[in-house]
Every structure is written in C-alpha cells, then in structure tokens.
Chain A
Amino acid sequence: MTKTQPGTAPSASPTDAPLLSVQDLTVEFSTAAGVARALRNVSFDVRAGETLAVLGESGCGKSTIAQSIMALLPKPAGSIVGGKILYGGRDLAAERIPAVRELCGTEIAMIFQDPLSSLNPVFRVGAQLAEPFRRRLGMGRREAWAKSLELLKRVGIPDAETRIRDYPHQFSGGQRQRIMIAMALALKPKLLIADEPTTALDVTIQKQVLSLLADLQAETGMAMILISHDLGVVADVATRAAIMYAGRIVETGAVRDMYDHPAHPYTKGLLESIPSQTSIGGRLKPIVGSPPNLLDLPSGCAFNPRCPFATDLCREQVPALRTPTTWPAGHEAACHLSEEVLTHA
C-alpha cells in the first residue's frame, strides 16, 4: 500500500539507520500464580516510511511490545528486565517513565483497538483534538480549534464543522477510530504504533480505515508498527512482518516471502488453517492443541507440542532466529528444521 519510496517521503531520514531499534527486549509480568515472561529476546528495526507488522495470536506478547515502547506496561506487575529500545540515540527501556511519555506525546503515537474507551466521554471531540496543540505547542484556543477542524477533515469525517462539537458516543465505531487517528497524528509523529486498529470494526469500515492509514503514511513519511492477528490485514498494509509465538519472534522477513514460503511450522500452520477457496466443503488443516501458558512453557521450542515436524532436538533446545541455508538474507525463522519446513509441500 505504501507506494512512496521511503527516500522521497518528506520527513524520512536520509540515512539508512533505523528509526527505532528494539534489541533483545525481555519483559516479565508477575501474577499471583508466578512470573510470566511475556517477551523473550525480541529484536527488530523499523525504518522511516516503513510498515512493520507484528503478527500473532492472543497472549503471544504482541501488545506487550507496544506497551514497552510507550512506557505503558502495567505497574508494578510488568517490567522490562532486559534489552534495549533505541530511538533517536536514546534507550527508552532505561529512561524514566515521564521522559518516555513526553516523547510519546510528540514523536511516537499510538492508536488502540477500542476507540470508545480511549476517548474521554465527557468532552467534545474538538476539545480533545485541540488539547495536544494547546498543551504541547502552546497554541491559542482559536488556532488549536482550527487545527483540529483541519485534522477531522483530513481523516474524512463528513460535515466536520458541526461534528467537531459532538461527543464521542455520537460517532460510529469507524468514525471514532478516524478521530483517534487524527489525535495520534496531530503532532506529526515519526512513528505510529497501531495496536489492532481495525479488529473492532466491520470489514467494509476496516478497509476504509486501513487505506486512510496508508494514505497518511505516504503523506507524512512516518514509520508504522501494525500489531494484528489478521494475516489478511498484515498482507494488505505491511511490507515486513515479525510473527510471534509465546513471547518470541519465530519468523521475520518480507510478508510475501513468508506467506509464500513459510520457514516456521507455526507460520505454515496459520496459513493452512484459514478457510480458503480450496477448503470449501472439505476439512480445514488446523494446528493441533492450544497456545501455551506463559507460566508453564514447554522445554525447548515453545511450539514443539503442536508441531508436526518436532524432533528430540526441538524438545531440548530453544532454536535461535536464523536464515535457512541457501535462502536469501532477510528472511529468518527460529526453527531447527526450517529447511525441511520450506521444502515440505
């Protein structure tokens, strides 16, 4: 969807250095039943103008990534116990929360799954939109209001002049998500984190919101991290993706490469379990078993109990991310048997 070359985008950095670099991030949650390691040694880069998708099922830790970057981990239960989040020469993992939040208000923005609970129900949307302009940029009331109106028009709210005085509940779900996007983009962030932005929306609305996001990205040259469980949405929006399972990245690379040639059995299983033209009337090929409990992970590769390829090695040793032999660089999978998975029909 991003047809713009990263280099031509207005605010893209000329160098090839990543905008955000997450390295070996490890996050733990302490619960009454024990300590759950929500993320284990997660590493990825995002460059300006690029969209990286983080794909995974519930509980795989994909939202924890967003929370870690934005310093939104629930305290005191969740904490970063290892790794770095490098942004603009700073390590966000090591900085104090207020400093990270300051940055997040301006350069890194986020939109959530449920726009209704992210908007304050007792204020008009105009006032909520104008707040960042007034607080962060010190604009006057009138100027901030004009800016808000401009934003509302940009995200495609019809009749924006009158709707700006409405309250959040007076908008439909899709319009609320548009308003959230407007708020997130108000201060022209360099990175937008979208956590399941369309999961609560109907497919027709989802399509509109996704294309709005793509247009805005092309316009501003911002980078985007899209967190999603939907293989189709990821293919639609992202160029690169990281697929997560039980707190680890199990496969990463260009979306098309991974979908056409999955090198991890989990990716392969996901792709095969989706109903498609060929499965009509017949049986689906599900992944057996259930996602693991983070408090009681199997030894070795966390996917091994559900994996048709699993060997003794898989039950003993955790595989590291690697490029399968004779495969082009950039496509990595955390599997001892990637070569076999790739050649398997």
Chain B
Amino acid sequence: MNNTDILSWMAWTWPTALFFVFILACLVTMSVWEYYVPGGGPRHGILRLDTTRGDRLFISLLGSAFILLAWLGFLGPPLWFGCAVCILFAIAVFLWV
C-alpha cells in the first residue's frame, strides 16, 4: 500500500488541498503576526464589538463563505467576482470592524 492508497478514502483534489493550504497559511500568518506584534490588536469597531485580529479573520472567513453561497444562489457560477467581493469584505473587516 503506497501513500496515495492511504489517503484515497479522503478523496483529495487539488482545489480542496489548495483551500486547506490557504486556511493553514492564514493561521500561520496570524501566529507570526502575533509573535511580532503581540496582544491581538484589540479594537472597538463599527459593529460596536471588541475584536482582536483573530476575531476579524474569523468574521472575514465566515462572512466570505456566506457571500459565496449567496452569489451561487442568486447569480450562479463562476465565482471570480464573488471572490473579489470577499477580498474587499475581508479588507473592510480588518480596517473597520
């Protein structure tokens, strides 16, 4: 049994692997950021919530998931413009929330 057989039950594909690499990269980036600038950058943003940069990443990712689902539901694929909206949303969250 080789390595590909061991993981075959998980049905990996390149796009899903890249998606998880992206999530892992986000977590690593946040850890490095926290190491160099500790404290999480707490802020009272426009939603009147106390958020750290970890909270802002969570809001960005969760919000992006719903933006993409709404895009699929109302406009259908492709999702490139939806992804652009998600990036703008994440920037807005990191700047103001």
The finding on whether chains A and B are genuine partners in a shared complex, rather than unrelated, reads no
- Measuring CB to CB, which residues of chain A are less than 8 angstroms from any residue of chain B? none
